[in-house]
Amino acid sequence: MASILVPILYVVLVFGGLWAFSSWYRKRNATLVYEPYFTQHRERDLYISLLQKTDPPAPESLLKAALVRRAMTDVTRILRLREDKPALQILLQKGSIGDDLWNSLLSAEKEMEAELLEVAAEANSYVEGWGQVIFQTASEMMANERMRSFLERIPALRVEKERKYGRVSSSSHRAIEPSTPATPVTPASAVPTPVSAIPKSPATPVPPTPASAVSSSSLAPPSASTENFASDSEGPGSPASPRSPSKSSKKAKKRK
């Protein structure tokens, strides 16, 4: 009998102690105030202060602008929560952070859910259906402001880069700019002179050939090369050339 009571008593003590500790820990966490994950919501406070102003009341356009600015801050915080939650969850599992930071994140999520519902209700009170698109409008305005701030910082960034890497001279900028190709200038010596512009030189008089030279050249005997060419050109089918008178007279004397 005693052997059965001892394990039962042990189990009761263990589970009773765990239950007592968990109840105490819950009560302690309920009364414990965690540090807020975000800083004070100034845009929300500003909109509420403008809404409560009665003497004179704030114009509706000013209230709408304050509400849009409030929605822009809410969108920024939502994006930050989406980025930080997975990383904090991994760190919590590894034991790198405490429960207070994780509980602060969870309380910030609940607060943002209530904030979004409130902003949507306020937007619908001004224009019906505006609560469905007010956060999209806030996102577009945030992107526009981000782009404008970047464009405004371009001159300062340029000055910083020039100070760091050296100022670029204006001649290099001119060299980089595309320029139209210049027409090559042809020197005057390379331009061909027209025929009409060339001065005509006086004609050289050709001396007349004397008649004696013409007659002597016509009576000169043919050269040996000419005779060889004539003898080679004669063949069996070519007509016989006339014989000279001296050879015919010699053959006639032999016959007599």
* 172-226 confidence digits (pLDDT tens): 445 444 545 445 444 444 444 444 444 444 444 444 444 444 344 443 444 444 4
Residue 241: band (very low, low, confident or very high) from pLDDT cuts 50, 70, 90? very low
State the amino acid at position 205 in one-letter form.
P
Look at 236 and 100; give whichever has higher pLDDT. 100
Output the six-digit token pair for 42: 């100034």
For residue 131, how many other CB atoms are within 10 A of its CB? 19
- Compute the distance between CA of residue 146 and CA of residue 148 in angstroms, rounded to an integer: 5
- Compute the distance between CA of residue 32 and CA of residue 52 in angstroms, rounded to an integer: 32
- Compute the distance between CA of residue 116 and CA of residue 131 in angstroms, rounded to an integer: 9
Residue whose pair of structure tokens reads 């016509």 in the numeric block: 218
Nearest of 114, 48, 34 to residue 77 by alpha carbon? 114
Output the six-digit token pair for 234: 């004669």
